[in-house]
A and B are shown apart, each in its own frame.
Chain A
Amino acid sequence: MSSTSLTTGRSWRPSLPRRHVPVLATLALLLVMYGIGVSQYRAFSNVQVVFNVFIDNGFLLVVAVGMTFVILTGGIDLSVGSVVAMTAMVSASLLRDGLPAALVLVIALLIGPTLGFLMGCAIHFFEIQPFIVTLAGMFFARGMCTFISDSSISITDGFWTSMSQQRIGDPAGNFVSISVLIAFAVVLIAAYVLAYTRFGRNVYAVGGNAQSALLMGLPVARTRIAVYTISGLCSAIGGILLSFYTLSGAPLIAVGMELDVIAAVVIGGTVLTGGSGYVFGTVLGVLVLGVIQTLITFDGSLNSWWTKIVIGGLLFAFILLQRLIGIRFK
């Protein structure tokens, strides 16, 4: 199935590397959607609209970056949404118990990677499908949320509220929150790691063909476990950002978020079988989702379920595009 498709896309313009096409298509889509928004609604051209997309989706961006690592190795992590909720929940409950903010931050940031590390070990050493292991992780984390508390816990800690309310802006009055800066930092670090470090090369190699990577002497085990740990860490950071954003921990928050994240990564041009994709694409994918939501909010007459239908349609379009330009599919 895969070998035939490789030759069909030969006639594509040679000047454009084929692996860049999905990312460029996402960029084009994003610009078109933004253009539609600007032409339809006067307030859409306001810079703050763009900033708000980042403010509202900062945590999604961080989690999607972690997911990009996992998907690049050809795996999948379904636990991210639950880990985000669990992190927010744990921080909220620890803060309620009066622990100092710095300690809470450390504990909250350790839980996600630990769970990710354990899942990575189960996936690698016991050869259980990532899908099933992370599904169990998802159940576990979601169960822990309600185990901690059945109802949402609000956060009144000084550090959290100041992080939540701090506005960094220009004289014109446009601003972003600190969460956005943290998200950007995560994106930049991730992009650097993937593009310029040995570990990044290993991630692409394992995703391209784990067997070959092993025969080449690359540390497949370490890489595979590391990506799930990274995804756990990103989910934990995402959880902290979400708790900054909502100033509470709720047991049922971020349900189904893993789907949005996977959709963002795929729309961003990362191939689900692994080995091809960029962090930059993921950023664009998250922005596409954010702009869709903004457009639907601006329109007012469309209901929220249209978001899901549009995301589904976009997923289809992008997968078809990847297929047409002949990127390898299993």
Chain B
Amino acid sequence: MTAVADRLRPLTAHRLFWPALVLVVMIAANTVYRPGFLAVEVKNGHLYGTPIDILRLSAPLILVALGMTLVIATGGIDLSVGSLCAISGAIACLHISGAADQNSPATVATALALAFGAALVLGAWNGVLVAVIGIQPIIATLILMVAGRGIAQLVTEGQIITINSGPYRAIGLGHFLTLPLAILIALAAALLVAAFTRRTALGLIVESVGGNAEASRLAGIRSRRIVFLVYVISAVCAALAGFMVTANVSSADGNAAGLWIELDAILAVVIGGTSLAGGRFSLGGTVLGALIIQTLTTTVYAMNISPQTSLLFKAVVVIAVCLVQAPAFRARLRRRRRGAEPGPAAPQREKEQVPA
């Protein structure tokens, strides 16, 4: 018994073990409940099936969560991503709806460029508030979270802008090499971010800023510039997600687009094992976390439960994953398990950390 546990230890200690286990258990439960769950078929040269749907629908969440991972790694948080989704989607759709030929690639390209520009400006605004003025991230981005919804509605003038543009729709619903284009874009973004953070020193620098911004500055890292940068990256990711969300339904709704996506994204990041305190991050975990959340949502839809009730399941998953990852909870559990045998004196208490 203990031998098996010992041999499994390296596996269970891996930080992606628990999120991966949750995903596998969820997929298994789904397959038991509905044997056709994993079936994938080819229609018109495209892959169709529930797993493909989950991948396609999780694309916006993966994108937002990627940006969020970097922000959280610096010890910050970005609540404004949902509003940014709505604004970028609204701007893009507004431009396309006003164009003479909605199907022309040039129109769509201009629309995307305009929306990206707006996202860059708003991301820079967040970055300035946090990095230059030094406002607490949660409150600095809360400003744009509240005001951003208003701005999005201002752009759409309170209406839902519907468009009929093939190229734009392809962002959300198109296929490439039999796979949904959306998930390919999300994966490309994930690989790009991974390459920049893990193949260059950038990731290490981000982690060091998250660990201790002041110490990093003294070590010669331009902390403020890094913090500024991650908020801009987060805004750009959110804009891309906004395009997908609006392209999925070919319309922009300032109220509903990207609603609660910031919470899902933070959840995905936390489930993926990135600490909210900053200082370390796991991009693979984030992608896994986003997939878990989307699988959960799809499962609940498939079981004919009201979408709002899926929040109940989400709450349970959040608490379970957080408890499993919380060092305090693990220590308690370990102590109880060892309770029978007299362990070495008292279990070592972690040193109280005194903020510098």
Interface residues of chain A, those whose CB is within 8 Å of chain B, are: 1, 5, 76, 122, 125-129, 131-133, 135-140, 142-147, 150, 211, 214, 251-252, 259, 262-263, 266, 272-273, 303, 305-309, 311-313, 315-316, 319-320, 323, 329-330
Task: Pick the residue among A135, A144, A252, A307 that contacts B266 (CB under 8 A).
Answer: A135
The residue that A142 contacts in the complex, of B136, B139, B143, B308, with Cβ under 8 A, is B308
Question: Is A315 a contact of B133 with CB atoms below 8 Å?
Answer: no
Q: Give complex CA distance A241, B49 in Å.
A: 48
Asked if B154 CB lies within 8 Å of chain A CBs, one says: yes
Say yes or no for B151: interface residue by CB 8 A criterion.
yes
- The answer to whether A329 and B326 have CB atoms under 8 Å apart is no
Contact (A273, B276) CB under 8 Å given A126-B323, A305-B254 = no
User: Which B residues from 288 to 326 make CB contacts under 8 A with A?
Assistant: 306, 308-316, 318-319, 322-323, 326
Task: List chain A residues, Cβ under 8 A from B277.
Answer: 129
Which single member of B154, B254, B319 contacts A136 (CB below 8 Å)? B319
The 9 closest A-B pairs by CB, nearest first: A312-B147, A143-B312, A308-B150, A146-B308, A143-B311, A140-B315, A305-B153, A309-B150, A139-B315
Which residues in window 64-81 of B have CB below 8 A to A? 77
- For A252, the chain B residues whose CB sits under 8 A away are 308
A79: nearest chain-B partner, CB-CB: B315
User: In the assembled complex, which residues on chain A have CB atoms less than 8 Å from the CB atom of B276?
Assistant: 129, 131-132
Complex contact B142–A143 (CB within 8 A): no
CB nearest to A303 among chain B residues: B158
What 0/1 pattern do residues 120 to 143 of B give for CB contact below 8 A with A? 000000000100011110111011
- List chain B residues, Cβ under 8 A from A329: 134-136
B267 at the interface (CB under 8 A from A): yes
Q: Given B139, B263, B329, which contacts A126 in the complex, CB threshold below 8 Å?
A: B329
Q: Beyond A136-B315, A139-B314, A259-B145, list 14 extra A-B contacts (CB 8 Å).
A: A126-B329, A127-B326, A131-B276, A132-B267, A133-B322, A136-B319, A143-B314, A146-B308, A211-B352, A262-B142, A315-B147, A323-B133, A329-B135, A330-B136
For B125, give the chain A residue with the smallest CB separation.
A316
| A306 proximity list for chain B (CB < 8 A) | 150, 154
A318 to chain B, nearest CB (A): 10
Q: Which residues of B contact A (CB under 8 A)?
A: 77, 129, 133-136, 138-140, 142-151, 153-154, 158, 213-214, 254, 263, 266-267, 270, 276-277, 306, 308-316, 318-319, 322-323, 326-329, 332, 352, 354-355
Alpha-carbon distance A320/B143, docked complex (angstroms)? 12
Q: List the A side residues contacting B266 at CB < 8 Å.
A: 131-132, 135
Question: B312 to A323, Cβ gap below 8 A?
Answer: no
Contacts of A1 in B (CB 8 A): 134, 213-214
Inter-subunit contact B308/A323 (CB<8 Å): no
Q: How distant is the Cα of A315 from the Cα of B158 in the complex, in angstroms? A: 23
In the complex, chain B residues whose CB is within 8 Å of the CB of A5: 134
Q: What's the nearest-Cβ distance from chain B to residue A292, in Å?
A: 12
